[in-house]
A and B are shown apart, each in its own frame.
Chain A
Amino acid sequence: MTVDTKPQVETRRPVEYTDSRLNAKIPAGPVEQKWAKHKFDMKLVNPANRRKFTVIVVGTGLAGGAAAATLGEMGYNVRAFCYQDSARRAHSIAAQGGINAAKNYRNDGDSVYRLFYDTVKGGDFRAREANVYRLAELSVNIIDQCVSQGVPFAREYSGYLDNRSFGGAQVSRTFYARGQTGQQLLLGAYQSLSRQVAAGTVELNERTEMLDVIIINGRARGIVTRDMVTGAIESHLADVVILATGGYSNVFYLSTNAKGSNTSAIWRAHRRGAFFANPCYTQIHPTCIPVSGDHQSKLTLMSESLRNDGRVWVPKQAGDTRSPDKIPEDERDYYLERRYPSFGNLAPRDISSRAAKAVCDEGRGVGPGGLGVYLDFSAAMKRLGEATIRERYGNLFDMYERITGENPYKVPMRIYPAVHYTMGGLWVDYNLMSTINGLFVGGEANFSDHGANRLGASALMQGLADGYFVLPATISDYLAKGGFEAVDASHPAVKEVVEEVTARTQKLLSIQGTRSVDSFHRELGNIMWEYCGMSRTEAGLKKALELIPALREQFWSDVRVLGSGAELNQELEKAGRVADFIELAELMCRDALNRAESCGGHFREESQTDEGEALRNDDDYCYVAAWEYMGDPSSAVLHQEQLVFENVQLATRSYK
């Protein structure tokens, strides 16, 4: 066990500033002891009584799949839902690079405290310390659990586990399974879930999309779904509901997310009273394959691990159209190495992305449209040999060649930033419960652990920490406290939600306008990328806030959804999701407008240093912005949870 030493720092802010509706329920005591103490203080459900409780889990990715499997193992009656045709296809599967854990197997100075510190700093001091510490603490258990499930992590010739480095850290703490770590971790969770399905503790509903949440007497008691094959709209009741439905990057239309990834589950919950926290915090990943044309339907990420050996550069001269091999060394600008000498090409994602945008804005971008920078492996190939590079990144190089038709062993890769992850999400307390009693939120769908910027290899860690360890404990505590009234499908509140969902579906089918769902989605994406993307301004955001409501109005009067609701209808599915994205987009822009500081992935041009670095404003914005729905995104009310830093000193985040 690693011994942690904690520097003494002053508590920055008294807690009284926090809105009374946002009680984070952070346990008292030193940060190292909070979770252990809390686990002991929480109530338990006797094993014989667990099957009397029904738990709904929406989403079967790392957080949802792990939570459903674990709650099933504990003996609860679990009902899991996913929109994919199999639980194994949730988008966690696409994560490439790795998962962090403070194992210190490298003996390079890592510890739980260092992972905690790196994550708080990496998040630009906009995350809750207690949650992040718990995450770092649980990281070590996750690796143990996954290995015992048979996850084939990379190993050394000794037979022991291998590690690699990721952005924003100076230790090697990332565990990986070639470039397919997310796939292997998800299959581990999926197999555990399958075991519980066979055991009868989990009932799995595939091709079933959640369209609303049912609240009875202030408690989340179920969901309304649409069977995507038959079109049946049905209610499902339970004692507690977990949403683990992922992020909302597809609000930008083009992102690295799966085409089906959407915000509807959390947005519907938001409309029913769950506060939405920090919606404007989006992560733009620096290394993606550039857009090739108007037909583009999604963007493909190239793992951050490539930056271990690849060097990022552009020509020094604007408008230089020579092929890369014709540009001599002294006419190249390795701008990350120049601007951030100590982290170099492994500078964190937000910083690397903005730096790429800056050089492209200067006209120094490469490739069609000038929206690209080189990621060059020639120096590494010279140093290590092509064979080593092939062994490390072969599958990624092949993928690049399949998509672009260019051979990255011969010409440098061209990359450009793309929307990848959303740090914002539903507000949750320390127990991962939202502002709706009995509605818990895990994984990317909640806001809790990454602050304003997520470090590489931390999403898998958070999803599994929430799913395997946090939710099973806090759900038990919630259920043990009891007080559940019996409800069935005839309850007026249930009927009302079913009717609302049915009416909305009918409405989408009845408009029969002139424009396809995709055309609205693309237009929304363009607005968001232009005004709420890598850099944001007051004027731009105000412009977006005029354009988005107009687009919403047009959508509801002119969208064309063919076919009926009583069958597999992919246009209808998309239409419901895009309608919610349009509402969310407005809230994102309002949040970005309110936050007149730059922090992490949120860069306000008005708030920067003379060198163009992000300028945070801790005096005015050291809070979580949690928005309450009041009938329309434009009238949402802001609540503030003040962030208190008792362990990590608020400091300017520097990677120079």
Chain B
Amino acid sequence: MKITVNVWRQKNAQTKGQMVKYHVEHVSPDMSFLEMLDVLNQQLIAKHEEPVAFDHDCREGICGSCGVMINGLAHGGNQATTTCQLHMRSFKDGDEITVEPWRAKAFPVIKDLVVDRGSFDRIIRAGGYISASTGSAPDANATPIPKDNADLAFDAAQCIGCGACVAACPNASAMLFTSAKIGHLGLLPQGQAERQSRVLNMVAQMDAEGFGGCTNIGECSAACPKEISLHFISRLNRDLLGATLSGGRTVE
């Protein structure tokens, strides 16, 4: 296959970027999308041109490093698929593909397709944990957890923190990401003690980072490679309302 790609090139955060067109030869349908970019980069290096920078690591859809807008869709729009798992058999010979970084104020571009997602880490630091210091744990089977709750908690806990939800949202909201952690921990008996402070602090941090508000559009869930449900946003809103009405204080 021969593919044409329009790629966002930006030297660094201070410089303005632009779209650049490249032709990639010898693309096999069995290649992953990132392997196609590898081929492009080898071509560029051979021509003494700087390769395109993009984040990637595990290349099996679990680390959450990779993620670009492909033809305007986060991770390319295939159901439950990260960029590294997208294969070129989803495209046709001669296709022209547009590749851009995540677009969100809270995800500033570092270089080319690489963005800074440190805002996600700061949301977790604001309360996305259970304060169980090492050594304080009772026996693992001391507290049975109904299977349905455990399964639902797992569904939320699958979030890989890639940022597709933010990139897909017209408001660049981080509600799906934040609600996944609130949902995961709030469904478990171990997560109850900090449930109110958790939702208040995480939402406050999410707002402080400059993510937009949620207007229930649902693009986030449709773009999520782990198919995290909008249900968790409802749970977050319910927890937030409860914590606010009960006068839950922000615990420092």
Chain A interface (Cβ within 8 Å of chain B)? Answer: 66, 69-70, 73, 84-89, 91, 93-94, 103, 105, 141, 143-150, 152-161, 177-178, 180, 183-184, 187, 190-192, 194-195, 197-198, 206, 229, 256, 258-260, 292-293, 295-298, 300-301, 398-399, 402-403, 405, 468-469, 472, 516, 518-519, 560, 562-563, 567-568, 570-571
The docked-state distance in angstroms from the alpha carbon of A197 to that of B128 is: 12
Contact partner of A178 (CB less than 8 A), chosen from B28, B154, B160, is B154
Question: What 20 new A-B contacts, CB under 8 Å, besides A73-B133, A398-B80?
Answer: A88-B124, A94-B58, A147-B137, A150-B184, A150-B191, A152-B153, A152-B154, A153-B140, A155-B144, A160-B144, A178-B154, A258-B58, A258-B59, A260-B57, A295-B35, A297-B32, A469-B134, A562-B49, A562-B51, A568-B114
B63 interface contact, C-beta 8 A: yes
The docked-state distance in angstroms from the alpha carbon of A94 to that of B63 is: 7
The docked-state distance in angstroms from the alpha carbon of A640 to that of B168 is: 57
B101 interface contact, C-beta 8 A: no
Task: List 25 A–B pairs whose Cβ atoms lie within 8 Å, in order of A's numbering.
Answer: A85-B118, A93-B62, A105-B141, A143-B140, A146-B140, A148-B130, A149-B132, A150-B188, A152-B151, A152-B188, A153-B140, A155-B144, A159-B147, A161-B141, A191-B124, A191-B128, A191-B130, A194-B129, A195-B129, A258-B59, A297-B38, A403-B87, A563-B50, A567-B11, A571-B51
A-contact bits for B118-152, CB 8 A (1 contact / 0 none): 10110011101111111111111101111100110
Q: Do residues A402 and B81 form an inter-chain contact, with CB atoms below 8 A?
A: yes
Q: Which residues of A lie under 8 Å from residue B120 when comparing CB positions?
A: 86
Looking at the assembled complex, report how far the CB atom of B183 sits from the nearest CB atom of chain A, in whole angstroms: 11
Residue of B nearest to A141 (CB): B137
Contact partner of B45 (CB less than 8 A), chosen from A146, A148, A198, A571, is A571
Q: Which residues of B lie under 8 Å from residue A229 when comparing CB positions?
A: 110
B55 interface contact, C-beta 8 A: yes
From A91, A155, A158, A516, residue with most partner B Cβ within 10 Å: A155
A-contact bits for B19-56, CB 8 A (1 contact / 0 none): 00000000010111011001100100110111101011
Q: Do residues B158 and A180 form an inter-chain contact, with CB atoms below 8 A?
A: yes
A-contact bits for B217-249, CB 8 A (1 contact / 0 none): 000000000000000000000000000000000
Contact partner of A258 (CB less than 8 A), chosen from B35, B57, B124, B126, is B57
The docked-state distance in angstroms from the alpha carbon of A468 to that of B136 is: 12
Q: Do residues B30 and A259 form an inter-chain contact, with CB atoms below 8 A?
A: no
Residue of B nearest to A564 (CB): B50
B216 interface contact, C-beta 8 A: no
Contact partner of B121 (CB less than 8 A), chosen from A66, A87, A144, A178, is A87
Q: Which residues of B lie under 8 Å from residue A194 when comparing CB positions?
A: 121, 124-125, 128-129
Looking at the assembled complex, report how far the CB atom of A443 sits from the nearest CB atom of chain B, in whole angstroms: 16
Q: Do residues B117 and A85 form an inter-chain contact, with CB atoms below 8 A?
A: yes
Q: Do residues A155 and B125 form an inter-chain contact, with CB atoms below 8 A?
A: no
